Chain A
């Protein structure tokens, strides 16, 4: 086996942060399996070549496991003659458990399987949320999948399909959680298993779940279907704990860092040092709860706000998800069923009306939110806009009918 010199990569072994290059070298020099030594050596050689020439040398292709069309990122080296042992270096995207929890036993079992068939390199997790098993050849892709699939692991999405979901740590360890994030994550994902494994949509479609407005999962910015926890009743206030904060942090600190930072000026301190909330004007932004976690908590009437159509630049520019459901109760099995039905409705409508390589949010931009809502049979709501229309260039033939619908809905809600 040729041992490649890696003077540039060697510099990435200096410094206090853990070095991935040192890990690659351990696989090259210390692993008992010669195949892994050779793959790691060859990979280091190609990576050094990239560093020297400032170019990447991987190309895609078509690799799949039997029965699926998705879940593998195929990589064939363009410089495979020079670095033959890593000339096929595919990644398997494997769906993590909801909430990214693992036992060390399970991690060891996965490591054992990966060592048999792959490079020995793995990431928890990629930006789409998958466990990334990085580097194996076409044949071993199938063998590795067969082995881990037998003990409970399945591939995630890649290409124009429903992608692997993500959810924050949520109810398992966070007092601000307003949802059962893991249940939502699994109910949604596992309803669309077919759409994960067999890419047949205009482009990618992502589900992400965050338990509150802090949105630790980046759901609004990074997912087509964002589920965010919120509550409808009053925020809970423990006045004793608040007084504790007043004493330890000081009045000035609380005024400057909590009261005046409220985006809707919905909070104040009373003359007898109580924390006062104007709940009808609170937007559940989470700031005061973040600063005073002992004193403030979400209310009891919890549920989800659902935003649709978030994505990054390609092709028309960045889009945040837009509110399509201001509040959805998620308690009963019927509630969850309605959530799944909404997702199905949206994906079906987009599958039918989206252009090739057009994300759901881009389609909404192209056809307008009102047409989208009509297509998925959701009623308009002022929570969906920052402000009403400012352009007068619009036809409003059906104004009276539409106004009547609003009053009917109001009457129905009141009864």
Chain B
């Protein structure tokens, strides 16, 4: 190998058409309608009547090359050698004949993959890296998701919900997992513990001061060394100072808890997109199975399933029944922490005589 560095080819984003299923290429922009023949299966009909069937399957998301090749083998033998990945990391196989759908489902099931995740099911949880790879995680991601999907698998495989349910998990309050109908996120509960020996070597102090959303951090000399100090009364324990300055240790085996937020919905259908709202906190970060968090998620899903009308996403449902009823039905405590005090918070208060009894 020569020692001269190889200049990169700045090719950017590749053209998807070269990898696309031929039927999708043929009818690009010319689809007429779709049907949902069964959970995990989509049927799309083109304007000339051509039909393509899609089978969607959930995987472990972090694929080892053995699993990736197994997915490829299935694609070669039972589909046409083309796959598509959804935004929630499910794999999709496309076939042009209905007779090929069931053998594909059977093979995926036999190999341990889970067919489902379409229409009004609980979709695969969108998540991030956690302890496996992130530099600031308060918990694991893949483990939480594996534990939760083990419990929710029937809801993934069936159409039991009023509308689709998107779950997300995030290992810190940056919330890389994104908005969800139900989001399970780390919530720090104590101010950072500062390793003053390291701050001046590791951190660019003005950037750290600037990063704090509530101006609780200021430069200080500690034991004769330049460091930082935190006004612990002002600190909201958000962890924003930790990424630029790891000596501001925010993660804590005991005090990094989980919180659950509901009603985030990116779709414009019916109502405008909505952000998720806090419903539960103080949930133990309890590996390897996180049973307490899963129990609350299941409780919320159960009530939603029983009480919501068809096509109501969780935010639509709560909007209709009101938050007092939500807390009543789920038997979750409503606390002073549920009342927002961030900028614009007054817009979230009920300034009316609208009360349900």
Contacts and interface: CB of A to CB of B under 8 A. Distances in A.
A51 B143 CA distance: 10
B266 A313 contact: no
Contacts of B52: 173
Contacts of B137: 56
Interface residues of A, number: 131
Contacts of A355: 210
Contacts of B246: 59
A50 B144 CA distance: 13
Interface in A118-174: 120-127, 134-135, 145-146, 149-150, 152-155, 164-166, 168-169, 171-174
Contact of A66 (B5, B65, B87, B311): B5
A12 B143 contact: yes
Interface in B1-60: 5-21, 24-25, 28-29, 31-35, 44, 52, 54, 58-60
Contacts of A126: 128-129
Contacts of B256: 54
Interface residues of B, number: 117
Contact of B149 (A17, A68, A124): A17
B268 interface: yes
Contacts of B7: 66-67
Given A97-B18, A146-B6, A47 B132 contact: yes
A19 B288 CA distance: 13
Nearest to B166: A218
Contacts of A22: 60
Contacts of A91: 133
A58 interface: yes
Interface string B315-350: 000000000000000000000000000111000000
Contacts of A297: 32-33
A8 B287 contact: yes
Interface stretch (B173-181, B220-228, B296-304): B173-181
Contacts of B16: 97-101, 172, 182
Nearest to A180: B29
Interface string B113-141: 11000000000001011111111111110
Contacts of A165: 13
Contacts of B44: 173-175
9 closest A-B pairs (Cβ-Cβ)?
Answer: A15-B150, A23-B64, A213-B268, A50-B131, A104-B72, A54-B253, A97-B16, A99-B16, A175-B31
9 contacts: A17-B58, A50-B131, A104-B71, A124-B85, A127-B177, A134-B132, A286-B269, A316-B213, A357-B210
Given A100-B86, A286-B269, 13 more contacts: A23-B67, A56-B136, A58-B133, A67-B7, A73-B133, A97-B13, A104-B75, A121-B62, A169-B86, A228-B268, A287-B269, A290-B269, A314-B173
Interface of A: 8-9, 11-12, 14-24, 26-27, 30-31, 43, 47, 50-51, 53-60, 65-68, 73, 75, 89, 91, 95-108, 111, 114-115, 120-127, 134-135, 145-146, 149-150, 152-155, 164-166, 168-169, 171-175, 177, 180, 182, 185-186, 189-190, 193-194, 196-197, 213-222, 228, 256-257, 261, 263, 283-287, 290-291, 293-294, 297, 312-318, 320, 355-357
